[in-house]
Amino acid sequence: MNRNFRRMLTIIEDSNAVSFAKKFEMYDQSRQELINLVDKCYRIHCLLAERYNHETGELLNSIPNSGLISSQGASNVSSGKISLPLLSKLHSSKQSNAHVSSVGSRQLKRGVSSIGNNNHFRGQISKNPAIRMMVLALTNKPVRDSSSSNFSNYYSDTQSDGGDDDDEEEELEAELRDMIVKLYIQLEGDRVDKALLEEKLDLNVLGLQSQQPVISDDSYTQSNDDDGEELQHEGTDELEAELRDMIEKLYIEMEGDRVVSMVQGGILRYEDNAHDDDEEFRQVRESISSNVDKALLEENLELQAKICRLLKDISSLEEYNDESYERCELLDEALSQARLERVAAEILFASEVEQLKSSIVKKNNDVEELNKILEAVAAERDQLKARVAMLDADPYKS
């Protein structure tokens, strides 16, 4: 400011004017403008002097006398008010970026936390025997069915119970009708109906009674009481034997039907178990397929992330390759230019060498001429020395 102030004054004082009148005219024309410039420079100088901190050597941010300057743009720039919105925007952008990065990391953690769910499923397969049996059936391994063994044990028990019943024939004879009714009730789908069985028994009894002789005469009956009693006793014995045989046949038939019904029940139970096992196998297969789909989806997401990272790496490598190619081109240009400069320098050096060689030859020639002159001078000197010696020896001859 001081230099500019002095320069203005020197311009005013040292104006190129021919005469004083011309100088006064020029000064009068530029007087007001120069005064304004000098006043403005002086005010700026005073303002900077007020803002200057002598302890730290820096300018203060506040402007004590901002009204001295007409333009407010310089004061705003120097005070740093323009930088405040920019700083606030920068801080807000940093906060938004941090929020986005934190949300992305949480989503990534959620994605990464759903990977280890197959261990629980494998434990359920190892703990569930039905599922394990289905897996063994799929792998063509023999599985021992427990229902067949249970059925064989039950059938052997029933046969042993039948042997005990054969030993107790007297009790069975006493409770024949009740036993037949109970056996009929226990068997479902029996071919023999209760009424038909009772009717058959009644018909058998009536047939045996009809075979006995009928005597209407009282005298005949009285005379033949002993024979009638014997015949009646024989008929009852035959009836009891026939009933016993029939009961045994019916018992064997009903026992066979019972075994058949038990087998059919076992088959139905086995079919139900097979249906349940098929349902469990279907559920297991669906769960396995869902878990496999989840694992494939997670693996697909991981592969997509890896592909994105690889694409970014490839793009960065391509950019680096382009930069390296540009650098190589620049180096090639510099190398070609250096080669041209070297060729020019070699040509220049060759010309200079030729000039130096010619100058050396010329100087050698000059040296030889000088040597010849020196030899002539030396010979002349020797002659003069000899003459001087002769004169010194005989001074009067001369």
Q: Cα–Cα distance between 140 and 94 in angstroms, integer?
A: 63
Task: Tell me, yes or no, whether 34 lies in a domain.
Answer: yes
Task: Tell me, yes or no, whether 266 lies in a domain.
Answer: yes
Of the chain, the end-to-end C-alpha distance in Å amounts to 96
Query: Quick one: 272 and 133 in the same domain?
Result: yes
Query: Quick one: 165 and 237 in the same domain?
Result: yes
Q: Which of 278, 309, 344 is the last residue of a domain?
A: 278
For the chain, give the mean pLDDT. 66
Task: Tell me, yes or no, whether 88 lies in a domain.
Answer: no
pLDDT digits (tens, 9 = 90+) for 242-300: 777 777 777 677 767 777 777 777 788 777 777 787 888 888 888 887 888 888 888 88
Q: Which residue has the higher pLDDT, 202 or 156?
A: 202
Query: Quick one: 20 and 160 in the same domain?
Result: no
Query: Quick one: 154 and 27 in the same domain?
Result: no
Res. 369: pLDDT tops 70: yes
Q: Which of 49, 81, 113 is the last residue of a domain?
A: 81
Res. 371: pLDDT tops 70: yes
Token pair of 208 as six digits: 């045996």
Query: Quick one: 148 and 69 in the same domain?
Result: no
| Percent of the chain with pLDDT strictly greater than 70 | 46
The pLDDT score that the predictor gives to residue 347 is: 92
The pLDDT score that the predictor gives to residue 243 is: 73
Query: Quick one: 154 and 76 in the same domain?
Result: no
Tokens 């479902």 found at? 188
* Domain that residue 33 falls in: 2-81
Domain count, the chain: 2
Q: Cα–Cα distance between 353 and 341 in angstroms, integer?
A: 18
* pLDDT, average across residues 181-204: 57
Res. 165: pLDDT tops 80: no
Query: Quick one: 240 and 159 in the same domain?
Result: yes
Q: What is the DSSP string of 89-110?
A: HHHHHHHHHHHHHHHHHHHHHH
177: pLDDT confidence band, cut at 50, 70 and 90? low
Q: Cα–Cα distance between 11 and 277 in angstroms, integer?
A: 114
Q: Which residue has the higher pLDDT, 322 or 85?
A: 322
pLDDT digits (tens, 9 = 90+) for 300-351: 899 999 999 999 999 999 999 999 999 999 999 999 999 999 999 999 999 9
Query: Quick one: 49 and 183 in the same domain?
Result: no
Predicted TM-score (pTM) of the model is: 0.23
Query: Quick one: 141 and 272 in the same domain?
Result: yes
Query: Quick one: 185 and 48 in the same domain?
Result: no
Task: Tell me, yes or no, whether 285 lies in a domain.
Answer: no
* pLDDT, average across residues 350-376: 92
The pLDDT score that the predictor gives to residue 332 is: 93
Task: Tell me, yes or no, whether 30 lies in a domain.
Answer: yes
206: pLDDT confidence band, cut at 50, 70 and 90? low
Q: What is the DSSP string of 18-82?
A: SSHHHHHHHHHHHHHHHHHHHHHHHHHHHHHHHHB-TTT--B-SS-TTGGG-S-SHHHHHHHT-T
Task: Tell me, yes or no, whether 99 lies in a domain.
Answer: no
Query: Quick one: 151 and 213 in the same domain?
Result: yes
Task: Tell me, yes or no, whether 286 lies in a domain.
Answer: no
